[in-house]
Amino acid sequence: MNPDIVETVNVAREVAWLPWAVQYFFLIGLSYGAFLVSLPGLVFRREGWLGISRLALLAALVCGLTAPVALLADLHQPGRFWHFYAYFTPSSWMSWGAFFIPVYLTGLILYAWLAFRPLLARHADEGGKLAGLARRLAYGGHESRNALVAAALLAFVGAALVALYTGVEVMLVRARPLWHTPLLPLQFFVTALAGGIGLALLFNRFLPGHGDAQATRRMASALAATQFGALVVGAVWLALGLSGLSPTHAEALAQVAPSANWQVSAIWAVAATVVTLAIAWRRPGSGLLIGLLALHSAWMMRWTIFIGGQEVPKTGAGYYSYQLSLGPEGLMGIVGTAGLWIFLFVALTTLLPLDRLGRADGAGA
């Protein structure tokens, strides 16, 4: 008898989730992470937190308004977004996300408006830039404590739902063991919170006099805690993979361990996290450096998971190769999203300059 000949054909496929998806998950994570940082000063009125909480709220607002644009672009046919509402699918987390995002953004915008109303009125009274528009937006400039707390609660519910769905919709992909782990939503959340803290630290750093030094130290301590949490989550994932207690984690580790690119990425990620933790702990005044490192880690984690994860074939041998294109689905798309973010930041800080937001009393124009 002639032996059977089995021929395996490996078909290379293009990545389905493009850099648009990375940008969306990055920006929406920064938004809800920074929103959480805004709560101690604005909602709970913790002493010494008011200025940094306002800056965090600005970060949450800019990122929250930019993120949906990247999400629409990732749909490939953005005009079909209404299909999520016209053809709701209860079994799809992406379909639920189409409802969770408006809840979060509605609460966030109301919360930001109520928090910034008194500052807008003061800015207008002192003849700041666009004083007329600031006066109209302030709508009297009264502080509405109960309404602010209610809006913050709505935004918090929305943020929790967004954090849940953005993690679970990736975790549920059984065909990719690297994604199919309950640790992924937790790692998304930890790095999102770190990125939100990092962005608030950058804003604080660019205030006159380099911002509030005490606030920088408080935020550095919080950032160190997130980095420790990220290392713990990573260690648990590795332990599950090496021990074989979880077949899914063991398969995921077996898929990526032979790859030199994945080895470099893993070493880089651990080193960046450890360095950020060490600097935040030992030199808490280094707001600019640890802020940039936190943003880098949040972006790198999402790029590695989404783009790198799709380079691991579901079937077949070897790895797919992804090259960042220069067009709208690649580099130009990233640049365009960054441009929108910068535009919103400039527009908002023209109405409310950073130094006014960063002061505990809101003074200064």
318-350 residue pLDDT tens: 677 778 888 888 899 999 999 999 999 999 999
Q: H-helix or E-strand containing 295?
A: helix 287-303
User: pLDDT by residue (tens digit) across 229-285?
Assistant: 999 999 999 999 999 889 999 999 988 888 888 899 999 999 999 999 999 999 988
| pLDDT at site 43 | 96
Mean of the pLDDT values across residues 302-319? Answer: 80
Q: Is the pLDDT of residue 20 over 60?
A: yes
pTM for the whole thing? 0.92
Helix axes 145-171, 19-42, angle to 10 degrees: 150
Lookup: tokens for 111: 């919360």
CA distance 188 to 199: 16
Residue 365 has pLDDT above 80, yes or no: no
- The segment with the largest mean pLDDT, out of 67-81, 273-287, 312-326, is 273-287
**Residue 317 pLDDT greater than 50, yes or no:** yes
Average per-residue pLDDT for the chain = 89
Burial class (CB in 10 A: 0-12, 13-18, 19+), 195: buried
Contact 333, 23 (CB under 8 A): yes
Q: How many residues does the chain have?
A: 365
The values of phi and psi at residue 331, to 5°, are -60, -45
Percent of the chain, pLDDT > 90? Answer: 60
What is the phi/psi pair of residue 176, to 5°? -120, 100
Minimal CA–CA distance to 308: which of 181, 189, 179, 186? 179
pLDDT reading at 91 higher than 70: yes
Mean pLDDT, range 88-93, rounded to an integer:
89
Kindly tell me the burial class for residue 134, based on how many C-beta atoms sit within 10 Å of its own C-beta (0-12, 13-18, 19 or more): buried
pLDDT at 4 over 70: no
What pLDDT shows up at residue 360? 62
The tally of CA atoms less than 13 A away on the side-chain side of residue 191 is: 31
pLDDT at 364: 39
Q: What is the mean pLDDT of residues 220-224?
A: 95
What is the per-residue DSSP string for 303-342?
HIIIIIHHTS-SSSSS-------SSTTTHHHHHHHHHHHH
Counting residues of the chain whose pLDDT is more than 70, the rounded percentage is 92
Q: Pick the more confident residue, 229 or 356.
A: 229
At 17, which helix (H) or strand (E)? none
Confidence tier at 26 by pLDDT (50, 70, 90): very high
- Between 310 and 2, the higher pLDDT residue: 310
H helix or E strand, kind and range, residue 167 = helix 145-171
Q: What is the pLDDT of residue 3?
A: 56
Using pLDDT thresholds of 50, 70 and 90, give the confidence band for residue 6.
Answer: low
pLDDT at residue 133 greater than cutoff 60: yes
Side-chain-side CA neighbours of residue 274 (13 Å): 8
Among 129, 203, 151, smallest CA distance to 359 is for 203
CA triple 239-160-156, angle to 5 deg: 140
The residue-averaged pLDDT of 177-197 equals: 95
Q: CB of 201 within 8 A of CB of 301?
A: no
Confidence category of residue 362, pLDDT binned at 50, 70, 90 = very low
